[in-house]
Amino acid sequence: MKVKKATEKYNLFETMYRAISSFYMWVDQGNSHTIAYGQVLYYDGLCHTGHDELDEIVYKLAICRSFIMSGSVKLSENIKIDVEKAIAKLKLMDLSKYNLTEYEICELNSMIEDFQVTIKNI
C-alpha cells in the first residue's frame, strides 16, 4: 500500500466522498449493501492509485456510517468484525504523517463513535 509523504495533505472528506460514491454506484447496480461493501473494498483497493492504509480504514468507516444512518440496513457480522479491526489498526497508526486538520480528526473520531454506539445497541 502506498503511504503518503509527510509533506502531502491528506483529504479525509475527499476520501469519504469517493467511498460513498463508489458504494452507492454498486448499490444502484442492484447489489445488496453487504455485497457493495465488499466490491468497493476490492475494486477501489486494487485499482485506486492513491490507495493507502488510511484510505482503506476511512472507506470502511464511511460506508459503515452510511449503513448506520440509513437505519434500514443491518451490518453483517463480517462487516462488524472488519470495521472493528480497522478501528484497532487506526488507533495504532501515526496520523501526524497525514497532516489532518483538527476538524478531520474530530470527524474520524465521530465515525468511530457512531460505529461503537451502534454496535453496543444492537
State pLDDT tens for residues 17-59: 999 999 999 999 999 888 999 999 888 875 555 568 899 999 9
Instruction: State the pLDDT confidence band at 69, using cuts at 50, 70 and 90.
Output: confident
The domain spans of the chain are 12-120
Tell me how far apart the alpha carbons of residues 87 and 57 are, in angstroms, rounded to a whole number.
7
What is the pLDDT averaged over residues 2-19? 78
Tell me how far apart the alpha carbons of residues 60 and 86 are, in angstroms, rounded to a whole number.
8
pLDDT above 80 (res 4): no
Q: pTM for the whole thing?
A: 0.85
Return the closest-CA partner of residue 12 out of 88, 109, 89. 109
Are residues 57 and 89 in contact, defined by beta-carbon separation less than 8 angstroms?
yes
